Structure 1
């Protein structure tokens, strides 16, 4: 009887884990897709709730728009779909986390024509903020092609209504806010 109970418990646990992984994969695909489409209101709804609470919903939307388009440049994700790498889902202090990475080529179109000198400065800046060495200037398009690894962290906790919500570490403010919300130990345990 104990073996039967153990087997049933294992089957229910595997089923729950499969549903969790499946919902995570679908949510991640949706989160990336709305970033690609620059559907900022949906990005906000899929983002971890405390991100918008910190600055206010309107300011959060303004920051998202400014990340993709501002007086200096326009940022566009180049691929509509990308393959994601999922870490093991970890439960830390009653909260579930998954670190998701993907190769994510982006293009920065600059509004003002760049000279050789300013293009070199912008290339250095883009390498630094994107943590990559793969930055190529295309003078005819006045743009840079940036190949980088993007990192998202999916979270389920008491504030997310049992749905996966995301931090986008391409935005430095969200990287910093993650530590404020969950602490250095959680960040370290997740390998961030």
Structure 2
């Protein structure tokens, strides 16, 4: 009897470990796809990997328009630079029947201004503070800032996503996250 009980416990533990490994494996795969879609500004793929409740707040068309305006306007043009993301995955946590994981990754971009910059040093400090950028440099000849930073996205698998991993970029203020999830979830994720 003890041997059967022991064998049953080992099988249950093995099954649970296998489920966690599958979740982490699929999470890593989906995080890579999401990063590549963002770095290449592939809107269809970005929207496919975005947590669907986001589109209850802002439509896909509005989001694409915001991206377009943010990436190129009268003042500057932003280009995302694909880099090795060097993902760091937090623990997968089940909170309120949803799976969450905080995923950090490297990000890089250039911001080329259309008119010559005055006070580039002040802007370097501003970018470092507002974007929490690790490295900001300015090339006067091309009137371009290069920005490297760690970014955070929240992976979510729940009923809304049919238990597939979808992502939400965690802006530094956390406004979008706060619109979708409660304080308990935010606290448990350490945000």
Q: Report the TM-score, using the length of structure 2 for normalisation.
A: 0.89
Report the equivalent of 1:12.
15
In structure 2, relative to structure 1, the CA distance for the partners of 1:127 and 1:32 (3 Å cut) is: same
Alpha-carbon deviation of 1:133? 5.7
Gapped runs of 5+ residues in structure 1?
Answer: none
Report the equivalent of 2:175.
176
Report SS of the residue matched to 2:162: coil
Alpha-carbon deviation of 1:158? 1.2
In structure 2, relative to structure 1, the CA distance for the partners of 1:120 and 1:188 (3 Å cut) is: same
Q: Which moved more, 1:2-11 or 1:127-136?
A: 127-136
Report the equivalent of 2:77.
74
Alpha-carbon deviation of 1:53? 1.8
Query: Within 2, Cα distance between the matches of 1:179 and 1:13?
Result: 31
Report the equivalent of 1:191.
190
Contact 2:81 2:108 in 1 (8 A): yes
Report SS of the residue matched to 1:155: strand
Contact 1:114 1:142 in 2 (8 A): yes
Report the equivalent of 1:45.
48
Alpha-carbon deviation of 1:165? 0.7
How many pairs are equivalent? 188
Report the equivalent of 1:101.
104
Query: Within 2, Cα distance between the matches of 1:103 and 1:22?
Result: 20
Q: Which has the larger radius of gyration?
A: 2
Q: Pairwise CA RMSD of aligned residues?
A: 1.8
- Deviation readout 1:81-115 (Å, 9 max, x if unpaired): 32100000011111111001123232211222223
Gapped runs of 5+ residues in structure 2?
Answer: none
Query: Within 2, Cα distance between the matches of 1:36 and 1:132?
Result: 17
Query: Within 2, Cα distance between the matches of 1:69 and 1:189?
Result: 37
Alpha-carbon deviation of 1:38? 0.7
Q: Report the TM-score, using the length of structure 1 for normalisation.
A: 0.89
Q: Does 1:160 align with 2:148?
A: no
Report the equivalent of 2:35.
32
